[in-house]
């Protein structure tokens, strides 16, 4: 962060107008904020943005990592997963989210690789959204192994079989999220999520020029830049 400040003015170190940092561990779920400076920063941020909830949720990665839950006075609730394996604590903290932005580093069938790297598959991300009751799910953070948009074969367990299993156990029918795939410079409203899959053939064709270069420079079984 401080190295970036030397290149770009991030507003750090300017006296009373300086950026105020909020330590993630101080705003974890069910934790009382003990530091006055953190409490004031959180209160000011909530007032400025109209938020009713701001929580940093510890998630499961290869190092310390947090997700984020934001709720607004107007009624929406947004959850960001950060880099993580499926996290039950995030599911609980994000109940009833309007939007879940969840990493989906690997495609279905690569669960062991995803676990080893501290990430999630497409199907696991959708399962998190279902259990959270999220109404919309934006998948992001795809491995560099996918030169185009990643294949959305994310229904690791079909909605019908999942519903039957839940109802057999006496649980309520799970919410089926509307799923969209993130890509660079995309802007979409929540009510447009259902349209994203309609555009995939055109987007795949647009991005297809990258395939040859990827195949020429990447050895089978290894992908540069993959975390």
Residue 67's H or E segment, with its range, is strand 66-72
Residues 87 and 120: their CA atoms lie apart, in Å, by 10
Q: What average pLDDT does this structure show over 41-69?
A: 96
What SS3 state is found at 82?
Answer: coil
Reported as a pLDDT band with limits 50, 70 and 90, residue 17 is: low
- 86-121 pLDDT, tens digit per residue, is 999 999 999 999 999 999 998 888 999 999 999 999
- Phi then psi for residue 54, to 5 deg, are -145, 105
pTM: 0.78
Q: Residue 12: how many CB atoms within 10 A of its CB?
A: 13
Q: 52-184+196-208: what fold?
A: Metallo-beta-lactamase; Chain A (3.60.15)
Query: Which pLDDT score, from 0 to 100, does residue 21 have?
Result: 81
Q: What average pLDDT does this structure show over 159-175?
A: 50
Q: What average pLDDT does this structure show over 197-208?
A: 74
Rounded percentage of the chain residues whose pLDDT exceeds 70 = 74
**Domain residue extents for the chain:** 1-49, 52-184+196-208
Least confident of 106-120, 159-173, 200-214: 159-173
3-state DSSP helix/strand/coil % of the chain, to nearest 5: 40, 15, 45
User: For 61, which DSSP code?
Assistant: S
Reading the block at residue 4, the tokens are 């970036």
Q: What phi-psi label fits residue 211: left (phi over 0), alpha (psi between -120 and 50 degrees) or beta? A: alpha
189, pLDDT greater than 80: yes
Find the largest Cα–Cα distance for the chain.
60
Partners of 56 in the beta sheet? Answer: 68
């Amino acid at each position: 962060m401080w190295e970036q400040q030397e290149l770009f003015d991030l507003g750090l170190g300017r006296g009373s107008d300086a950026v105020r940092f909020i330590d993630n561990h101080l705003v974890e779920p069910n934790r009382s904020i003990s530091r006055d400076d953190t409490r004031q920063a959180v209160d000011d941020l909530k007032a400025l943005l109209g938020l009713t909830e701001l929580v940093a949720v510890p998630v499961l990665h290869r190092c310390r990592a947090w997700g984020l839950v934001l709720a607004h006075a107007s009624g929406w609730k947004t959850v960001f997963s950060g880099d993580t394996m499926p996290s039950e604590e995030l599911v609980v903290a994000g109940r009833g989210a309007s939007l879940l932005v969840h990493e989906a580093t690997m495609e279905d069938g690569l669960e062991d690789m995803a676990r080893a790297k501290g990430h999630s598959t497409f199907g696991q991300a959708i399962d998190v959204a279902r259990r959270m009751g999220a109404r919309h799910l934006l998948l992001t953070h795809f491995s560099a192994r996918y030169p185009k948009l990643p294949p959305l074969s994310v229904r690791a367990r079909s909605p019908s079989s999942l519903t039957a299993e839940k109802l057999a156990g006496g649980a309520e029918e799970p919410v089926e999220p509307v799923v969209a795939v993130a890509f660079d410079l995309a802007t979409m409203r929540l009510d447009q999520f259902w349209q994203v899959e309609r555009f995939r053939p055109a987007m795949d064709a647009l991005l297809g020029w990258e395939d040859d270069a990827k195949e020429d420079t990447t050895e089978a079984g290894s992908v540069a830049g993959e975390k």
